């Protein structure tokens, strides 16, 4: 093969890679150019922060109840929280350390306590308990 052809292909692939990455970064940085699905997917990112030791936390202080629940449902902390099941003490500690906002924190702790009582009392099996924790209302 001709070396110039290989050079053209390599330059072309590098150009395509640069354009794709550049447009992706531009979309993240510029709200005017971002599409509707990007905005919907990232509308709750402003409630997620890092604490002093670098762990993700959810800050829901001074936010209405509907937004609190939606931000919780869309956060990556929810998945991490559900992985702690059935260690209810660890789940409570997780909520106390990683969620800011007393109203939502109390609601979530109440749900954990109700689920724990039902689970260990025999009225909820593991699947029902996980479902109750997953569908916070």
pLDDT lower than 70: segments of the chain: 1, 23, 26-42, 137
Cα–Cα distance, 65 to 63 (Å, whole number): 7
| pLDDT given at position 2 | 76
CA 30 vs CA 16, 17, 134: distances in Å? 21, 20, 33
| pLDDT given at position 30 | 62
Q: Which two tokens stand for residue 120?
A: 């260990």
pTM for this entry = 0.63
Each domain of the chain, given as residue ranges in start order, spans: 3-41, 46-134
| pLDDT given at position 13 | 87
| pLDDT given at position 35 | 67
| pLDDT given at position 32 | 58
């Amino acid at each position: 093969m001709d070396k110039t052809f290989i050079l053209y292909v390599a330059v072309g692939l590098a150009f395509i890679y640069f354009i794709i990455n550049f447009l992706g970064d531009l979309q993240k940085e510029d709200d005017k150019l971002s599409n509707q699905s990007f905005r919907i997917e990232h509308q709750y990112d402003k409630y997620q922060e890092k604490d002093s030791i670098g762990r993700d936390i959810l800050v829901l202080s001074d936010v209405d109840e509907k937004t609190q629940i939606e931000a919780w449902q869309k956060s990556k902390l929810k998945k991490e929280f559900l992985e702690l099941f059935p260690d209810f003490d660890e789940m409570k500690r997780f909520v106390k350390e990683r969620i800011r906002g007393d109203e939502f924190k109390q609601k979530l702790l109440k749900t954990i306590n109700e689920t724990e009582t039902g689970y260990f009392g025999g009225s909820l099996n593991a699947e029902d308990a996980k479902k109750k924790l997953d569908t916070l209302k």
